[in-house]
Structure 1
Amino acid sequence: MSLLFFGKDPDTDGDECPTVWVDDQNADLVLQGWKADSRTEAECLTVGRIPETEAVIRIPARLVPLIREACDAAERTELR
């Protein structure tokens, strides 16, 4: 597996910030984000449980352009 780096949140300290990658073998998006607060998790739980192997994270809206770019790359990878 190799992760293709797309970028970090430009408005954070550059060390501990939301980040976007694409796995070049299976085209999965890999996202690092802020852990959701309990209120957000509670609202998410209204539609189903959160398994131990999953997490609710927040990605700032300013990363949308990087996520779009990563989605485009993931689609290109998946088509190969």
Structure 2
Amino acid sequence: MALRFFGKDPQTDGDECPTVWVDEDTADMLFQGWKADAATEAECLTVGHIPDTEAVIRIPARMVPLVRKACDAAERAEQSAKLR
């Protein structure tokens, strides 16, 4: 697995903070974020079950530029994989 790091939340202490990566082998995006509180999770459950293998996380809006870069890289990696 080759993870490409895109960045951490610029307004945190640099440790234990939301982070964005792209798996260069699969083009999947990976997020580390704050666990959703019970009220947020309950709201999410109104549209469907959350399996034990999944989680609702919160990424701050100030990280949108990092997420956009990661989305672009994931899209390029996926297109590249299709050409192989």
- CA deviations 1:33-54 (Å, max 9, x no partner) are 0000000000000000100000
Instruction: Write the letter of the residue equivalent to 1:24.
Output: E
Q: What are the ranges of 5 or more consecutive residues in structure 2 without an aligned counterpart?
A: none
Alignment RMSD (CA, Å): 0.4
Which runs of at least 4 in structure 1 moved beyond 3 Å after TM superposition?
Answer: none
Match of residue 7 from structure 1 = 7
Mapping of residues 42-57 of structure 1, within 5 Å = 42-57=42-57
Identity %: 76
- CA deviations 1:29-80 (Å, max 9, x no partner) are 0000000000000000000010000000000000100000000000110111
Instruction: Write the letter of the residue equivalent to 1:77.
Output: A
TM-score (norm 2): 0.94
CA distance in 2, matches of 1:76, 1:28: 11
Match of residue 63 from structure 2 = 63
Count of aligned pairs between the two proteins: 80
Match of residue 39 from structure 1 = 39
TM-score (norm 1): 0.98
